[in-house]
């Protein structure tokens, strides 16, 4: 029987230098920059999605399978390795990311006191960098013609030939295909980064203590000027990104004019700023010490995204709550 033959490949630059792993590091760095500079929108969404949903699995697969998918050695029985092509590797990368992310989430919960976007990114980025470095080390231990490489140059050459050679119809179709892919990617990114109407909101509530629980009932009806009363407001953020809030508490004397409630005297009782991550919430206990005396006075709570004006109103507030109280002058 004639001996089995194998194909000998001339090493490319991609085999001599791990370009794909350098790009992985660049994406991690770009995501960190977006977090550090608080850059939102499509750019941050795309980088975050790639970093969390693809890169952990990609570097894991790169570390486990540092050789490329083309047959370059004799088959089984002669020291052959398991080989996977780029498409199989992409599927494996996504699957491994799904398997690895819960473990990284548990690690983030153990290392950091708060489960924030920055904490999760730190753990994911650390894993990607460490495992990516191990993948690069393993790959560089192999002969150049056996190393995994992503044929970027081949893709570019093929695209250039499709645009510059062949019939006019083929070139037009190639350009149209490239434009359609770019357009589809842009539409997908926009859809991910732009929430549908009604999907983002903030729940703003006022509660009181009922034993060991906080309930939306039992609000005070009668207060005394200068005598503090404990109340608690709460925020639950369902916004798309981390949001800065300002809550202003006002005591208001109001009257009815032409069927509308009009404020005739106001005084600020408290002003607080806080930042809440998406899906997170915060409770803030505070003292309400009334200044104005009279019947049917309002204690108003005005919630703003960002800074609040000096004198809040229902018209410009993002959310508004109030309770009615009578305030006595006391001794």
- Average pLDDT along the chain, 331 residues, taken 10 residues at a time: 48 65 86 75 72 85 77 45 65 82 80 70 87 88 78 62 72 70 54 51 89 85 92 90 94 90 93 91 92 94 95 93 92 64
Q: Is residue 3 part of a domain?
A: no
Q: Is residue 240 part of a domain?
A: yes
Q: Is residue 218 part of a domain?
A: yes
Nearest to 278 by CA among 136, 118, 138: 118
Same-domain check for residues 56 and 68:
yes
List, edge to edge, every strand of the sheet that includes 319-328: 222-224, 319-328, 294-305, 243-257, 260-276
pLDDT at 75: 43
pLDDT at 326: 95
Q: Which domain holds residue 182?
A: 152-194
Q: Is residue 5 part of a domain?
A: no
pLDDT at 195: 47
pLDDT at 4: 46
The pTM is what? 0.48
pLDDT at 158: 60
Q: Is residue 4 part of a domain?
A: no
Residue 144 contacts residue 10 (beta carbons within 8 Å):
no
Q: Is residue 40 part of a domain?
A: yes
> What distance in Å separates the CA atoms of residue 134 and residue 56, rounded to the nearest whole number?
13
């Amino acid at each position: 029987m004639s001996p089995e033959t194998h194909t000998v490949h001339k090493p490319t630059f991609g085999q001599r230098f791990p370009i794909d792993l350098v790009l992985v590091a660049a994406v991690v760095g770009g995501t960190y920059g977006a977090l550090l500079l608080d850059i939102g929108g499509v750019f941050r969404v795309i980088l975050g999605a790639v970093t969390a949903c693809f890169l952990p699995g990609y570097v894991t697969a790169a570390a486990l399978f540092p050789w490329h998918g083309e047959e370059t050695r004799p088959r089984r029985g002669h020291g052959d390795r398991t080989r996977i092509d780029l498409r199989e590797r992409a599927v494996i990368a996504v699957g491994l990311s799904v398997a690895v992310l819960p473990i990284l989430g548990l690690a983030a919960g153990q290392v950091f006191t708060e489960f924030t976007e920055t904490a999760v990114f730190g753990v994911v980025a650390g894993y990607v960098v460490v495992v990516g470095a191990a993948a690069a080390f393993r790959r560089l231990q192999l002969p150049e013609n056996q190393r995994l490489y992503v044929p970027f140059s081949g893709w570019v050459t093929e695209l250039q030939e499709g645009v510059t050679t062949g019939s006019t119809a083929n070139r037009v179709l190639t350009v149209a295909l490239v434009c359609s892919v770019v357009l589809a990617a842009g539409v997908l990114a926009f859809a991910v980064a732009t929430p549908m109407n009604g999907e983002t909101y903030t729940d703003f509530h006022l509660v009181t203590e009922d034993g060991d629980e906080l309930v939306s009932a039992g609000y005070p009806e009668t207060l005394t000027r200068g005598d503090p009363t404990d109340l608690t407001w709460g925020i639950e953020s369902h916004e798309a990104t981390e949001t800065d809030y300002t809550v202003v508490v006002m005591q208001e004397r109001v009257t009815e004019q032409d069927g509308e409630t009009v404020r005739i005297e106001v005084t600020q009782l408290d002003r607080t700023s806080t930042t809440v991550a998406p899906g997170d919430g915060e409770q803030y206990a505070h003292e309400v010490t009334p200044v104005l005396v009279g019947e049917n006075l309002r204690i108003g709570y005005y919630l703003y995204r960002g800074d609040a004006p000096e004198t809040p109103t229902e018209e410009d507030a993002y959310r508004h709550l109030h309770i009615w109280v009578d305030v006595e002058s006391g001794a």
